[in-house]
Amino acid sequence: MLIKPPSDIRSSEITDKSLYLNRRAFMRAAAVAAGAAATGCVSADALAGSGQPAAHGRKLENVKSSPLSTSELPNTWEQITTYNNYYEFGTDKDSPSRYARGFKTTPWTVAVEGECNKKAVYHLEDILKGQTLEDRIYRHRCVERWSMVIPWVGFPLSSFINKCEPTAKAKFVEFTTLADDRQMPGLASGVLPWPYVEGLRMDEAMHPLTILVVGLYGEVLPNQDGAPLRVHIPWKYGFKSGKSIVKIRFVEKQPVNTWQRAAADEYGFYANVNPTVDHPRWSQAKERRLPSLFTNTPTQMFNGYGDQVASMYAGMDLRKNF
């Protein structure tokens, strides 16, 4: 497989294709401009182009509300399942909804390796056994300046970590996601070095806000949103939230994540939402809260979760550790 060095990767391949660069999006925006001017919003169809909302799946049982949820109004099922970053299925925002429909997510296993006492290959059913599922309505902020409010269903990552019994040497948790070229047409592009790898510091992984996601709106997680198992860290940019996880490894040294490997000057390890640290090619001070067309919502430090997480970074230079 051809892996392009960072200098050879076109910005259109690794970032959100802004409306003025995306011909289809531009034409859709022009078509709805009159109505959007009054409300600042467009329909899910206009956002996603030819994408189709995910079919509704099995209802998850005994899901409890979480006190950690935001009180903000969630985005709709249609918006959440037709506007996605999931490059294994393509770089356009509607590609996952078109190409992930036949993605096979059962049976599913996750290999646990590294500095822990309970190394094993866990079936998804074993991971879920004994877990209390919660509705977690979280802000989701993308490094490309768009955001949503998403009602995930999941459980604390810390509960699974405890089950794995990490040793004292485990300082970081590394996640590896599926790379199956038989099911994932985006792998052929070579836009990133596959498989997709992400990581968290152990205290970040153990924080109560960090969850393993298995559902959306009370139903099993749709394919285009990272089925059947993904991680979500609401105070970080969305690229930290690895989808379709197949391996969790406990390591002593900070792992090099995929976006660092591809463009280290643009994507750091920590990826904390920080309006004062710009991406080299755009400001992060404001965001576009979908379905709005306008990038006019002020970005909140730590995505609005500062009261809960800021203490983990006390004394750190967050411009250097971006």
Q: What is the mean pLDDT of each run of 10 residues along the chain (322 residues)?
A: 42 39 40 48 56 94 97 98 98 97 97 98 97 98 97 98 98 98 96 97 98 98 98 98 98 97 96 97 97 97 98 97 96
Q: Find the helix or strand (DSSP H, E) in which 197 lies.
A: strand 197-201
Report the amino acid identity of residue 203.
D
**pTM as predicted:** 0.88
In a domain, 170, yes or no: yes
Residue 242: closest CA among 271, 265, 217: 271
| pLDDT on residue 28 | 43
The answer to the question of residue 5 being in a domain is no
Closest CA to 247 of 112, 88, 65: 112
Q: Alpha-carbon distance 37 to 24, whole Å? A: 19
Residue 220 main-chain phi, psi, to 5 deg:
-60, 150
pLDDT of 180: 98
Contact 164, 116 (CB under 8 A): yes
Q: Identify the pLDDT of residue 21.
A: 35
> Does the residue 218 lie in any domain?
yes
CATH number at 234 reads: 3.90.420.10
Split into its structural domains, the chain has a count of 1
> Is 185 within 8 Å of 233 (Cβ atoms)?
no
pLDDT averaged over every residue in the chain: 89
Amino acid at 309: V
User: What's the Cα-to-Cα distance from 22 to each of 35, 102, 219, 245, rounded to whole Å?
Assistant: 20, 26, 32, 30
Tokens of 50: 């030819």
**What is the C-alpha to C-alpha distance for residues 235 and 220, in angstroms, rounded to an integer?**
24
Q: What is d(CA 242, CA 199) in angstroms, rounded to the nearest whole number?
A: 9
Query: What is residue 289's predicted lDDT score, i.e. its pLDDT?
Result: 97
Across-strand partners of 114? Answer: 250
Q: How many residues does the chain have?
A: 322
> Model confidence over 23-53: pLDDT tens digits?
444 344 444 444 444 556 655 554 645 689 9
Question: What whole-number distance in Å separates Cα of residue 174 and Cα of residue 246?
Answer: 11
Classify residue 321: in a domain, yes or no.
Answer: no
Which residues 6+ apart lie within 8 Å of 299 measured at CB? 141, 273, 275, 284, 285, 286, 287
**Residue 195: inside a domain:** yes
Q: Does residue 114 fall inside a structural domain?
A: yes
Nearest to 130 by CA among 52, 38, 62: 62
Query: Given this model, what pLDDT does residue 263 score?
Result: 96
Nearest to 105 by CA among 221, 271, 242: 221
Can you give the residue range of the structural domain that contains 239?
A: 12-313
Residue 322 placed within a domain: no
Shortest CA distance to 95 belongs to which of 105, 84, 103? 84
